Amino acid sequence: RIKASGLKLQLCTNETQATREKFVKKLQGMGFDISVAEVTAPAPAACRLLKERGLRPHLLVHDDLVPEFAELDKTNPNCVVLGDAAENFTYANLNEAFRLLIGMEKPVLISLGRGRYYKETDGLKLDVGAYMKALEYACDVQAEVVGKPAKTFFESALAELGLPPEQVIMIGDDIVNDVGGAQRCGMRALQVRTGKYRPCDENHPHVKPDAYVNNLAEAIDILLQQL
Amino acid sequence: RIKASGLKLQLCTNETQATREKFVKKLQGMGFDISVAEVTAPAPAACRLLKERGLRPHLLVHDDLVPEFAELDKTNPNCVVLGDAAENFTYANLNEAFRLLIGMEKPVLISLGRGRYYKETDGLKLDVGAYMKALEYACDVQAEVVGKPAKTFFESALAELGLPPEQVIMIGDDIVNDVGGAQRCGMRALQVRTGKYRPCDENHPHVKPDAYVNNLAEAIDILLQQL
């Protein structure tokens, strides 16, 4: 319905357990008409950043994300890229990433998101942000976060759309990462009352959405009515 | 030499990879005349704290440390005790500790030290402090640290000695955990120029030892000369 109306569309996700190709296939399987170019995700954003700065990453990420970094030189690493590595968050792998960082003259830690935890069918799991904090503390370094709510991440989505922020509306379920991040870039933002949404979000001390909608379909209804 | 002189002696260690019994056996094997009662260590201090507050711990610690907590009820845990768990720092164990904490109405995290890393024969390892930070961030909680440099830890060592702080001298190699911690309790503190000591410690922004000594033997020489 968005595409049929002539509006432009870009999906912004912090998904780092799979390549965009896999992510898009999953959405297509659910009936969404989406292409890889319409997805802004942390790994491709990190790749651009690494290329620009001539960085050679050591990856501590999910196996399924590794192909996103195929083009980059990973020999003799001069930075560590941390994603939601899930089962790859072993004691040995964390020590290895730590040793590389602490051995650098100026440690560079790039984190694909700063989430605290998420829910899977078998329960809550620590997210990348927790492991980022562990390495930040051990190495006395501040990670550079790629992904929502980083301003640069939303800016790259805007660049893909070719639109200024005041012409774009973010729709999301996460009060801080979706709504707050987009608003700080000058976009308006709707919060859906589904998914991660919690009633207490409506009393958030710092972030106030431009409007609430009960679900994604309702958000689209409202947007299209106003065209 | 200290004991022969009539001075009292207490060892303060942040060792959490073994019971005091094992630790003392190791020192005895090196020729030190030491008993378990002369060792102040985080695990027994944590046990006292848990008993006082009626806490039932879930342990994420080294296997060899578990016997220190034998007397405590560990069913239906209402707090998490974190030590340097080494190989027990698995993804599954960290998620389990996290889930218990996030499920508590008021999460209680007790950390046996806040070290960033340490060196073993096969290289640097992340210490308990890094994992403490990960859980603190994920659960939005502040850990209670037992062990050096916590004031309560030095106070319990003073209680064992039965002496006021101004009659006690701390000798250690760690500028913050040994020297700084002891001084904040009103003790004087010597830093030895061995072990963890680094020349840059002598320019530490906050902590200044009462004196430097080249090694432990020299510290004892100086103390005994002044009796």
Q: What is the pLDDT of residues B157-209, one digit of tens each?
A: 999 999 999 999 999 999 999 999 999 999 999 999 998 898 999 999 999 99
pLDDT exceeds cutoff 90 at A120: no
Q: What is the pLDDT of residue A227?
A: 80
For chain A, the structural domain boundaries read: 13-161, 164-226
State the count of interchain CB pairs (< 8 A) between A and B. 75
Structure tokens at B6: 């009539």
CATH class entry, domain B13-161: alpha beta
Is B96's Cβ below 8 Å from some Cβ in A? no
Chain A residues inside the 8 Å CB shell of B87: 91
pLDDT exceeds cutoff 90 at A137: yes
Q: How far is A83 from chain B (nearest CA, A)?
A: 14
DSSP B17-85: SS-HHHHHHHHHHTT----GGGEE-HHHHHHHHHHHTT--EEEES-GGGGGGGTTS--SS-SEEEE---
Mean pLDDT of all residues in chain B? 94
CATH of region A164-226: 3.40.50.1000
Q: What is the pLDDT of residue A64?
A: 94
**Hey, do A13-161 and A164-226 end up sharing a CATH topology, with the first three levels equal?**
yes
User: Which phi-psi region, left, alpha or beta, contains residue A162 (left: φ > 0; alpha: ψ -120 to 50)?
Assistant: left
Grade residue A121 by pLDDT with cuts at 50, 70 and 90.
Answer: confident
Q: Report ipTM (2 d.p.).
A: 0.86
Residue window 36-55, chain A: list those with CB within 8 Å of chain B. none
Q: What is the pLDDT of residue A74?
A: 97
pLDDT digits (tens, 9 = 90+) for B89-104: 999 999 999 999 999 9
Burial class from Cβ neighbours inside 10 Å (0-12, 13-18, 19+) for residue B3 reads exposed
Q: What is the pLDDT of residue A196?
A: 82
Give percent above pLDDT 90 in chain A. 89
Q: What is the pLDDT of residue B227?
A: 80
Q: How far is B30 from chain A (nearest CA, A)?
A: 30
Q: What is the pLDDT of residue A68?
A: 93
CB contact under 8 A, A134 and B136: no
